A and B are shown apart, each in its own frame.
Chain A
């Protein structure tokens, strides 16, 4: 028997790597471009999301509304029905990340598959069932597992800020050794990327990412095999694929290398056991086969459907688990009363609808020009973890900017024009007279008034008397809030010279999306 690997499939494998690189670069390019670039309206930088059938399904179920942009998911579905999970193997940027690290771990001998691995594949179907059942009960947990949301959030709140920190070290080094010119141009280049560098949970989100990467040491593409609900959904669709694995029994030396090295446990040999729902068409088996026995011929008449690796009991168990766990997410004071710190971006839907649609992808956080939007921890209750919340101590809502509303892939933040945005009330400013410089120290300040962006300004002046420690009285201009004009943008809090605990601060009361969180009875006027 002549021993020779298939040149054609080795070439295909390289093509696949090239295609993965292109889509990953496209994903990163769109994400890096998600910031103010000089225009008021930014275009479809969130396009990737709309090709995701999992998000399309969950957004429709949890949001009780069909979001038209998700029509593009039909493309992915069509491709998957006819060609199998090629999107997982060739397109998905998170899949590429996991595959890259799996490859790296294999090359460094950290990962050495030696025997055929079976079982465990059902986990991702259980995750899918959990996500869908939760969506039926209007609990949107898809964002924690959806690969695009996962990667966008991780890159935005963790990897890019870390990159910026690292770049600053390099720049500091360049200055340190006297390369001022290089330092200056690197600084300006970094400035143009406008990376938000402060995220209150960047460390945690980064740690989760690293943990999942590390799991590739145990199994190649661990995430894609056992966790990813989007992969599971595509797996359910890819059962009548045109291209099906075929092992030439005459050539086959039964070394089992194909099945051992399979990226996703699809079991190419014997080919009757091949799982079309798991195969991502990475071409590894066909390329690695020492006798070129493996091919993927096309058959116009689909072969019988192999069963997905999921028993009826597991379906029932996963469903029941979902049904019973959803109420736990709701045991929280979050639904009872609005949190003062839960300042949502302008255009955010009423809280219940917002939570049902938000996939915690962090696109809005990437777009925010001041880094004001932060992943929530406890502000919005358990089901609101990592949803965007405006933290004025970090940044403020730029008056003429509506980028967050434009880039939201699921419509959790309704798209606003700039004129709509400038009158959209997200909260109300308050003054802590015990800390405000004119009120308490009797000295001039007015920084909040100077920065208030509305015209006429929502911060006005009154003359106040401050009693000073020496018994004298100082009269000074002090700020007061005009509630009819304040939109809660938070620039006053952000710029207040009282650094640790600003003397002017914004809370969510008055936010126009919530009639139960109002202060003024406008109906009486």
Chain B
């Protein structure tokens, strides 16, 4: 960020503070100024993502000038976007753009895929979209996987792809999908893509593992892609009829709340999901959606 923009920002903030109602001014009140979740529906994934982040304060609230930012979509499967197995490429691209606009020095987009990485990166459309927006889209290298202390309640240590812990900020961009074991896969489950093998063994206690991982990675921001969600045959789907077009993107800081919101897309009460129950009990976040400020907009 250059000096000119910095000055402009200060001016804008000052103006906003001056115009805002008195109750919203000051340190504590500043945070409360933003809704808990931005919930946007409309016709273009890119516009929805942009608006959702804007509702909760804009990307500059989360990304500082000079930050290295990781945008973590789900690129797990060799599936094209209309099959809703991977995050929508337009959403990923928009988030990369937002980070760059906010002054990020470098944006990395990557995932430890399940199918062949080259195929997943290419056919999901994510690699091309993210590169077009100026992101680095590296493949996971076995050299960059190291054992780390997860310090979870159950998961004590595991192999972690280093890029995910080296960055300054990390933005989780899961897609909402059906999953046979944990019923739905959302943001917390998405962290399995930042791990090394044999991550398949985590399925023996998946709900607990998800919560431990979410607490470990602590995303700065979660943007939930529900443009097209996968309602059966998850987490891969395979036919367009396995998907449902929701035209919805939501953004929020509280990653537990975001998953709670995601559960409602599948008509599941959040408390029914063991991983959300565990996370709420550990006070990692809230699942009482009815008490949250969810600002809904249509663009």
Residues of A within 8 A of B (CB): 35-36, 38, 171-172, 175, 183-184, 187-188, 191-192, 194, 369-370, 398-401, 437, 443-447, 449-457, 461, 477, 495-497, 499
Contacts and interface: CB of A to CB of B under 8 A. Distances in A.
Nearest to A187: B141
Contacts of B138: 184, 188
A453 B181 contact: no
Nearest to A400: B78
Contacts of B143: 171-172, 175, 183, 187
A495 B202 CA distance: 13
B139 A188 contact: yes
Given A187-B141, A455-B233, A495 B200 contact: yes
A447 B200 contact: yes
Contact of B203 (A175, A400, A446, A456): A446
B180 A477 contact: yes
A445 B242 contact: no
Interface string B210-245: 000000000000000000000001011111001000
A413 to B, nearest CB: 19
Contacts of B235: 450
Given A187-B143, A455-B233, A399 B78 contact: yes
A401 B78 CA distance: 10
B189 to A, nearest CB: 11
B118 A444 contact: no
Given A188-B141, A398-B119, A443 B204 contact: yes
Contacts of B239: 455
B44 interface: no
B13 interface: no
B116 interface: yes
A370 B116 contact: yes
Contacts of B284: none
A497 B199 CA distance: 9
Contacts of A35: 118
B179 interface: yes
A340 B179 CA distance: 32
Given A35-B118, A36-B116, A444-B203, 7 more contacts: A36-B122, A369-B116, A398-B78, A398-B116, A444-B181, A497-B198, A497-B204
A447 B117 CA distance: 19
Contacts, number: 90
Given A449-B180, A450-B180, A499-B198, A444 B116 contact: no
B238 A455 contact: yes
B121 to A, nearest CB: 9
Contacts of A188: 138-139, 141
A192 B206 CA distance: 32
A398 B115 contact: yes
A400 B119 CA distance: 9
A38 to B, nearest CB: 4
A518 to B, nearest CB: 25
A67 B155 CA distance: 58
B114 interface: yes
A74 to B, nearest CB: 37
Interface residues of B, number: 31
B233 A450 contact: no
Contact of B181 (A398, A446, A451, A454): A446
Given A446-B180, A453-B238, A455-B237, A497 B78 contact: no
A464 B122 CA distance: 40
B180 A461 contact: yes
Contact of B118 (A183, A369, A449, A477): A369
Nearest to B163: A184
Nearest 8 interchain pairs by C-beta: A455-B238, A187-B141, A497-B200, A369-B116, A191-B139, A38-B122, A447-B200, A455-B239
Contacts of A36: 116, 118-119, 122
B23 interface: no
Nearest to A370: B116
Contacts of A446: 180-181, 203
Interface in B95-126: 114-119, 122-123
Contacts of A461: 180
Nearest to B239: A455
26 contacts: A35-B118, A171-B143, A183-B143, A184-B144, A187-B143, A188-B141, A191-B117, A194-B118, A398-B116, A398-B119, A399-B115, A401-B119, A443-B205, A444-B205, A445-B204, A446-B181, A446-B203, A447-B203, A450-B181, A453-B236, A455-B236, A455-B239, A495-B114, A497-B200, A497-B201, A497-B204
Contacts of A477: 180-181
A188 B141 CA distance: 8
Nearest to B122: A38
Contacts of A187: 139, 141, 143-144
A457 B242 CA distance: 12
Contacts of A495: 114, 200
Contacts of A499: 198
B278 to A, nearest CB: 15
B252 to A, nearest CB: 27
B257 to A, nearest CB: 26
B244 to A, nearest CB: 14
A444 B198 contact: no
Interface in B150-206: 179-181, 198, 200-201, 203-206
Nearest to B234: A450
B233 A451 contact: no
A86 B279 CA distance: 74
A447 to B, nearest CB: 5
A457 B119 contact: no
Nearest to A452: B236
A443 B181 CA distance: 11
Contacts of B119: 36, 369, 398, 400-401
Given A445-B203, A450-B179, A450-B180, A455 B123 contact: no
A477 B180 CA distance: 9
Nearest to B77: A453
Nearest to A446: B181
A446 B236 CA distance: 14
A187 B201 CA distance: 27
Contacts of A451: 114, 236
Contacts of B236: 450-453, 455
Contacts of B179: 450
A35 B181 CA distance: 34
Nearest to B121: A38
Nearest to A401: B119
A183 B143 CA distance: 9
